[in-house]
Structure 1
Amino acid sequence: MDVIVQVDEVQEGVANQFDMEGRQVPIEGPADVPAETSLRLPRELIKLMRTHGQAYWEYAFLKLGDADAAEELVDDVFADLAAHWGIAVQQESLKHFCWKVLATTVDTALVERHRSKMLDRAMQEARGRFDTLESPSGLFDAIKQLPKRQYQAIILIHVLGYDGRKAAKAMGISECGVYSLNRDAKRRLSAILAME
């Protein structure tokens, strides 16, 4: 896994970067970017990336089961740490804090994946039910015209019978958000059906 840890300079359209082993890796870059805007990472963070980057990636890979997703997640974690380095170094244990950031980010990614899969399954189930229903009033055609999030709320609540709490969990929003989407969807449906 090559994690880029430092951008040294930008000249003649090529930026010089270094991977975790300290090898120089030229990349394409805009020629007009001044050197002072290049990324400078704290030495402690570079050391952390070199000594623990592989372990971070292995942990993320083990939990996510996807090498590309693990690499992207670890890159994001190190970028977040770099962006908030001032906070990180104020912690009692820098290594513990950085590991906690990684673990929390992995857990969040897992929750998002689960939520996404749950919503996809619910939408597939609804599509199956939906296709077998007929509506002389044009309701089902009108529901298909709703914006994505309103459509999802209507399907979860009214077609699949989810309560507000379960729909909120599936959509990754608050119950209030689900109720707002449901209310707005009903208003839009009324307007669509009134025009027909």
Structure 2
Amino acid sequence: MNDFPPADAADTSSTRIPRPTPAPAPLLITFTAFHDLHAQRYTDYAFAHLGDPTVVRDLVDDVFVALADHWHRVLAQPSPAAYAWALLRRVVEAECLRRAEHLALIEEAAFAYVLIERAKRLLEQVDECMVEDLGIGISVARAIQKLPGRQHDVVVLRFLAGYTPTHIAEVMGIEEGTVRSLVSQARTRLKTRLAPRRTLESGRTHDDEE
């Protein structure tokens, strides 16, 4: 069992977690460096799921408070970045559940439009016919939502937040080659999931023309 509070401890509707007592100087320096490196990346990931800047800011702050409270234990992990990322992911999922929203991306037409604009490179590599179709955009959002854990995360960070594989590897605590492999796997899954939709859409268009 780890020393972190349960994921819903970051519930922003409750009393805010108090700031931790100051850590010894060496620990404080390493924590500050970690915070400065990853805070914006955590924020972008959380915003892709929640879409509320105030909720996201408070949630990310609470994650870093929890990390700071146990920073010496975080540093003792084989990969502090991976350990911290797992905590962020649990907290984001818990907040999505609390808000009775989906665990991943918002399935609205407005979001689908943003998805198309931000992720054209991904969509073009899955199916070049998709890039201007808003209905397809919604289907892609739902398909991304169903990607397994790390595939979902790298797609959000790479194609929605715009981070490089190097930056994604840093924030998730994995190898850059693993990031590239996960992106490739995600593209394959998306193509497989969306193929039936393309077949139905093509058939519907043919029928309409008749």
TM range (shorter): 0.3 to 0.5
TM-score in terms of structure 1 length: 0.40
Which has a greater percent of strand?
A: 1
Structure with more relative contact order (C-alpha pairs < 8 Å, separation 6 or more): 2
TM-score in terms of structure 2 length: 0.38
Q: Which has the larger radius of gyration?
A: 1
Which has a greater percent of helix?
A: 2
